[in-house]
């Protein structure tokens, strides 16, 4: 469905499939991210035979060939998009390249396959569902901004998971690492030390000491800085209102977000967005939705 048929040259395709069976590959100009939510499947990915179960994301690049060999109670969803939606083919200084390495350097991720930590999987599933819902319903003019920020969040989460999965961060599974995973997937909620202690069956002293040893900061400061980082990305890459950004990233009220943002950066969120507007290439018209 085209939002502006008279401007087809400006259309940026995005599509979804809630019953992905790997029978229809994306076009040569598109990337595809696939999540196996339930069941299992045997796939042949670039001639390599793989057995995959739920809780796995597949990053399908332009040259990735996938054939379904066998499946059992499989529920998989996919989102296919043109890289121009994220300005991936623009000036390297004007794109978020590090979040898309999983599409380019597939050799390091076993053909783009990424198993998710059980703590991370619900958040990835939620981001998939929210993104597909926005593409499907297009309830207002900012639906494309929500799709973009949800996908950016998903790729950031995947990048952090890949670092953990590959062992590149040099850390072993620990209380502090589990705490980080919880923060990265629940940043929109109220996170307290008491909640974390109850969740991981530990005490204040042990949790705070291990967390500071791993991150060099307190839990409260880490949560705040992580939220603010996500806010900056939303301000740069979307046209979402300050109110919606505040709600999405756990600040609840726009006035509170504005006070904290100004205190940390020296400028108000609106001014920051204006200063960074040269990076914002949101496709405000001519966006194509092709639902699968």
Q: If DSSP codes are grouped into helix, strand and coil, which group holds residue 233?
A: helix
Task: Specify whether 222 is located in the same domain as 158.
Answer: no
Task: Specify whether 210 is located in the same domain as 272.
Answer: yes
Q: What is the pLDDT of residue 22?
A: 92
Q: What is the pLDDT of residue 288?
A: 37
Asked if residue 289 has pLDDT above 50, the reply is no
The DSSP code for 26 is P
Asked if residue 12 has pLDDT above 70, the reply is no
Range of the domain at 117: 14-170
Q: Is residue 218 part of a domain?
A: yes
Q: Is residue 144 part of a domain?
A: yes
Q: Which of 170, 203, 227 is the last residue of a domain?
A: 170
Task: Specify whether 75 is located in the same domain as 158.
Answer: yes
Number of domains in the chain: 2
Q: How far is 133 from 31, CA to CA, in rounded Å?
A: 19
Phi-psi region of 39 (alpha: psi -120 to 50; beta: other; left: phi over 0): left
Q: Is residue 104 part of a domain?
A: yes
Task: Specify whether 152 is located in the same domain as 244.
Answer: no
Task: Specify whether 131 is located in the same domain as 24.
Answer: yes
Q: Is the distance from CB of 276 to CB of 237 less than 8 angstroms? A: no
Task: Specify whether 41 is located in the same domain as 163.
Answer: yes
Query: What value does the mean pLDDT of the chain take?
Result: 84
Task: Specify whether 40 is located in the same domain as 165.
Answer: yes
Q: Which of 65, 182, 67, 185 is CA-nearest to residue 124?
A: 185
**CATH code of the domain containing 98:** 2.60.120
pLDDT digits (tens, 9 = 90+) for 241-284: 999 999 999 998 999 999 999 999 999 999 999 988 754 444 43
Q: What is the pLDDT of residue 62?
A: 78
Residue that wins the pLDDT comparison between 12 and 81: 81
Task: Specify whether 123 is located in the same domain as 86.
Answer: yes
Q: What is the pLDDT of residue 3?
A: 37
**CATH code of the domain containing 234:** 1.10.10.60
Q: Is the distance from CB of 10 to CB of 281 less than 8 angstroms? A: no
How many H helices and E strands in the chain? 10, 7
Q: Which of 56-65, 172-181, 225-234, 277-286 has the highest mean pLDDT?
A: 225-234
């Amino acid at each position: 469905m085209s939002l502006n048929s008279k401007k087809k040259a400006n259309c940026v395709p995005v599509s979804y499939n809630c019953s992905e069976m790997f029978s229809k590959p994306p076009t040569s100009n598109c990337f595809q991210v696939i999540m196996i939510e339930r069941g299992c499947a045997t796939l042949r990915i670039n001639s390599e035979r793989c057995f995959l179960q739920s809780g796995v994301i597949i990053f399908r690049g332009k040259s990735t060939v996938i054939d379904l060999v066998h499946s059992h109670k499989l529920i998989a969803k996919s989102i296919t998009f043109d890289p121009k939606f994220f300005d991936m083919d623009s000036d390297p200084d004007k794109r978020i390249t590090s979040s898309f390495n999983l599409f380019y350097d597939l050799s390091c991720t076993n053909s783009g396959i990424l198993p998710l930590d059980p703590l991370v999987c619900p958040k990835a599933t939620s981001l998939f569902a929210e993104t597909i819902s926005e593409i499907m319903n297009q309830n207002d003019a900012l639906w494309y901004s929500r799709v973009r920020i949800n996908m950016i969040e998903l790729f950031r989460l995947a990048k952090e998971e890949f670092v953990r999965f590959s062992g590149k961060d040099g850390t072993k599974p620990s209380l502090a690492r589990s705490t980080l995973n919880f923060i990265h997937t629940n940043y929109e909620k109220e996170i307290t030390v008491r909640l974390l202690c109850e969740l991981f069956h530990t005490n204040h002293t042990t949790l705070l000491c291990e967390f500071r040893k791993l991150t060099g900061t307190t839990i409260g400061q880490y949560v705040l800085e992580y939220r603010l980082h996500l806010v900056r990305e939303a301000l740069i890459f979307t046209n979402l209102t300050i109110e919606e950004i505040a709600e999405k990233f756990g600040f609840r009220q726009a006035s509170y977000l504005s006070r904290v943002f100004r205190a940390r950066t020296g400028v108000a969120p609106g001014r920051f967005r204006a200063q960074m507007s040269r990076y914002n290439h949101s496709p405000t018209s001519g966006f194509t939705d092709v639902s699968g």
